[in-house]
Structure 1
Protein backbone atom coordinates (compact mmCIF):
# COMPACT_ATOMS: atom_id res chain seq x y z
CA UNK A 1 0.00 0.00 0.00
CA UNK A 2 1.54 3.32 -0.97
CA UNK A 3 1.26 6.64 0.88
CA UNK A 4 -1.14 8.08 -1.70
CA UNK A 5 -3.69 5.30 -1.07
CA UNK A 6 -3.34 5.70 2.69
CA UNK A 7 -3.95 9.47 2.63
CA UNK A 8 -6.99 9.00 0.33
CA UNK A 9 -8.51 6.47 2.75
CA UNK A 10 -7.88 8.80 5.69
CA UNK A 11 -9.58 11.72 3.90
CA UNK A 12 -12.60 9.54 3.07
CA UNK A 13 -12.92 8.38 6.66
CA UNK A 14 -12.79 11.98 7.93
CA UNK A 15 -15.85 13.10 5.92
CA UNK A 16 -19.00 13.44 8.03
CA UNK A 17 -21.74 10.92 7.31
CA UNK A 18 -24.51 12.30 5.10
CA UNK A 19 -28.14 11.44 5.84
CA UNK A 20 -31.25 11.83 3.70
CA UNK A 21 -33.79 14.20 5.27
CA UNK A 22 -37.27 15.36 4.29
CA UNK A 23 -39.02 18.63 5.16
CA UNK A 24 -42.65 19.38 4.32
CA UNK A 25 -44.13 22.88 4.50
CA UNK A 26 -47.46 22.13 6.19
CA UNK A 27 -48.42 25.81 6.44
CA UNK A 28 -50.34 27.96 3.98
CA UNK A 29 -47.38 30.36 3.66
CA UNK A 30 -44.18 30.36 1.61
CA UNK A 31 -41.20 29.58 3.83
CA UNK A 32 -37.47 30.06 3.48
CA UNK A 33 -35.40 27.29 5.01
CA UNK A 34 -31.66 27.31 5.64
CA UNK A 35 -29.27 24.59 6.82
CA UNK A 36 -27.18 25.51 9.82
CA UNK A 37 -24.09 23.30 9.75
CA UNK A 38 -20.35 23.30 9.21
CA UNK A 39 -20.60 21.64 5.79
CA UNK A 40 -23.38 23.81 4.30
CA UNK A 41 -22.45 27.47 4.53
CA UNK A 42 -24.95 28.97 2.06
CA UNK A 43 -27.66 26.33 1.57
CA UNK A 44 -31.05 28.04 1.45
CA UNK A 45 -34.32 27.13 -0.30
CA UNK A 46 -37.82 28.52 -0.78
CA UNK A 47 -40.54 25.99 0.09
CA UNK A 48 -44.11 26.53 -1.09
CA UNK A 49 -47.18 25.46 0.92
CA UNK A 50 -47.59 21.68 0.76
CA UNK A 51 -44.20 21.22 -0.93
CA UNK A 52 -41.93 18.40 0.24
CA UNK A 53 -38.15 18.80 -0.02
CA UNK A 54 -35.52 16.05 0.19
CA UNK A 55 -31.92 16.96 1.02
CA UNK A 56 -28.72 15.40 2.31
CA UNK A 57 -26.83 16.74 5.28
CA UNK A 58 -24.68 15.62 8.18
CA UNK A 59 -26.31 14.33 11.36
CA UNK A 60 -25.41 17.41 13.39
CA UNK A 61 -27.18 19.94 11.15
CA UNK A 62 -30.20 21.99 12.07
CA UNK A 63 -32.84 23.36 9.72
CA UNK A 64 -33.75 27.00 10.28
CA UNK A 65 -37.31 27.77 9.17
CA UNK A 66 -38.03 31.44 8.53
CA UNK A 67 -41.75 31.83 9.16
CA UNK A 68 -42.25 35.60 9.22
CA UNK A 69 -39.78 38.41 8.89
CA UNK A 70 -37.33 37.97 11.73
CA UNK A 71 -39.15 34.97 13.26
CA UNK A 72 -37.57 31.57 12.85
CA UNK A 73 -37.44 28.17 14.43
CA UNK A 74 -34.68 25.55 14.48
CA UNK A 75 -35.37 21.85 13.90
CA UNK A 76 -32.74 19.21 14.52
CA UNK A 77 -32.25 17.30 11.24
CA UNK A 78 -32.29 14.05 13.22
CA UNK A 79 -36.08 14.56 13.42
CA UNK A 80 -36.28 14.85 9.61
CA UNK A 81 -34.43 11.64 8.71
CA UNK A 82 -35.97 9.48 6.00
CA UNK A 83 -36.39 5.90 7.18
CA UNK A 84 -35.51 3.53 4.37
CA UNK A 85 -37.08 0.08 4.47
CA UNK A 86 -35.39 -2.98 3.02
Structure 2
Protein backbone atom coordinates (compact mmCIF):
# COMPACT_ATOMS: atom_id res chain seq x y z
CA UNK A 1 0.00 0.00 0.00
CA UNK A 2 1.42 3.36 -1.02
CA UNK A 3 1.41 6.12 1.56
CA UNK A 4 0.44 9.66 0.49
CA UNK A 5 3.19 12.19 -0.09
CA UNK A 6 3.79 14.39 2.91
CA UNK A 7 3.82 18.15 2.62
CA UNK A 8 7.52 18.15 3.59
CA UNK A 9 8.39 15.95 0.62
CA UNK A 10 6.24 18.05 -1.74
CA UNK A 11 7.76 21.31 -0.54
CA UNK A 12 11.36 20.19 -0.87
CA UNK A 13 10.78 18.54 -4.26
CA UNK A 14 8.95 21.42 -5.91
CA UNK A 15 10.87 24.66 -5.64
CA UNK A 16 9.42 27.03 -8.25
CA UNK A 17 11.71 29.21 -10.31
CA UNK A 18 11.45 32.96 -9.95
CA UNK A 19 9.49 33.36 -13.19
CA UNK A 20 6.86 30.88 -12.02
CA UNK A 21 6.50 32.51 -8.61
CA UNK A 22 6.07 35.95 -10.22
CA UNK A 23 3.14 34.61 -12.22
CA UNK A 24 1.43 32.93 -9.28
CA UNK A 25 -2.28 33.56 -9.22
CA UNK A 26 -3.81 35.11 -6.11
CA UNK A 27 -7.45 35.50 -5.13
CA UNK A 28 -8.68 39.08 -5.52
CA UNK A 29 -12.00 40.79 -4.84
CA UNK A 30 -13.50 43.93 -6.37
CA UNK A 31 -16.69 45.56 -5.05
CA UNK A 32 -18.64 48.16 -6.99
CA UNK A 33 -19.33 50.78 -4.31
CA UNK A 34 -20.99 53.16 -6.77
CA UNK A 35 -24.64 53.62 -7.77
CA UNK A 36 -24.01 52.84 -11.42
CA UNK A 37 -22.98 49.87 -13.55
CA UNK A 38 -19.25 49.46 -14.15
CA UNK A 39 -17.25 47.45 -16.64
CA UNK A 40 -14.03 45.99 -15.25
CA UNK A 41 -11.23 44.59 -17.35
CA UNK A 42 -8.18 42.60 -16.26
CA UNK A 43 -4.98 43.90 -17.83
CA UNK A 44 -1.80 41.85 -17.43
CA UNK A 45 1.37 40.63 -19.11
CA UNK A 46 -0.01 37.19 -20.00
CA UNK A 47 -2.87 36.46 -22.36
CA UNK A 48 -5.50 36.21 -19.62
CA UNK A 49 -7.53 39.29 -20.42
CA UNK A 50 -11.28 39.46 -19.73
CA UNK A 51 -13.93 42.01 -18.91
CA UNK A 52 -17.13 41.82 -16.85
CA UNK A 53 -20.14 44.01 -16.10
CA UNK A 54 -20.45 44.70 -12.37
CA UNK A 55 -23.71 46.02 -10.92
CA UNK A 56 -23.94 48.47 -7.99
CA UNK A 57 -23.08 46.72 -4.72
CA UNK A 58 -21.89 43.57 -6.49
CA UNK A 59 -18.68 41.78 -5.40
CA UNK A 60 -16.58 39.92 -7.92
CA UNK A 61 -13.90 37.36 -7.02
CA UNK A 62 -11.17 36.57 -9.53
CA UNK A 63 -7.62 35.25 -9.76
CA UNK A 64 -4.78 37.42 -10.99
CA UNK A 65 -1.00 37.54 -10.83
CA UNK A 66 0.87 40.22 -8.88
CA UNK A 67 1.60 42.28 -11.99
CA UNK A 68 -2.03 42.51 -13.12
CA UNK A 69 -4.13 45.66 -13.06
CA UNK A 70 -7.89 46.06 -12.99
CA UNK A 71 -9.24 48.74 -15.29
CA UNK A 72 -12.54 50.17 -14.00
CA UNK A 73 -14.81 51.95 -16.45
CA UNK A 74 -18.03 53.53 -15.30
CA UNK A 75 -20.01 56.72 -15.45
CA UNK A 76 -16.85 58.79 -15.76
CA UNK A 77 -15.20 59.41 -19.11
CA UNK A 78 -11.78 58.47 -17.69
CA UNK A 79 -11.27 54.95 -16.41
CA UNK A 80 -9.17 54.13 -13.38
CA UNK A 81 -6.47 51.48 -13.08
CA UNK A 82 -5.98 49.57 -9.79
CA UNK A 83 -3.10 47.18 -9.13
CA UNK A 84 -4.48 43.77 -8.14
CA UNK A 85 -2.10 43.70 -5.14
CA UNK A 86 -4.52 46.19 -3.53
CA UNK A 87 -7.47 43.81 -4.14
CA UNK A 88 -5.99 40.68 -2.54
CA UNK A 89 -8.30 38.62 -0.34
CA UNK A 90 -6.78 38.13 3.10
CA UNK A 91 -7.53 34.69 4.47
CA UNK A 92 -7.77 34.25 8.22
CA UNK A 93 -6.84 30.89 9.67
Correspondences of 1:1-86 after superposition (within 5 Å): 13=17, 14-15=19-20, 16-68=23-75, 70-86=77-93
Using a 3 Å threshold, how does the CA distance of structure 1 residues 27 and 40 change in structure 2: closer, same or farther?
farther
How many residue pairs match? The answer is 77
> How far did 1:42 drift?
3.2
- Runs (4+) of structure 1 moved beyond 2 Å? 12-15, 39-42
Bigger Cα Rg? 2
Q: Give 5+ residue unaligned stretches, structure 2.
A: 1-13
Higher strand share: 1
Q: Give 5+ residue unaligned stretches, structure 1.
A: 1-8
> How far did 1:85 drift?
1.1
- Superposed CA offset, 1:16-41 (max 9, x none): 10000000000000000001102244
TM-score of the aligned structures, taking structure 2 as reference length: 0.73
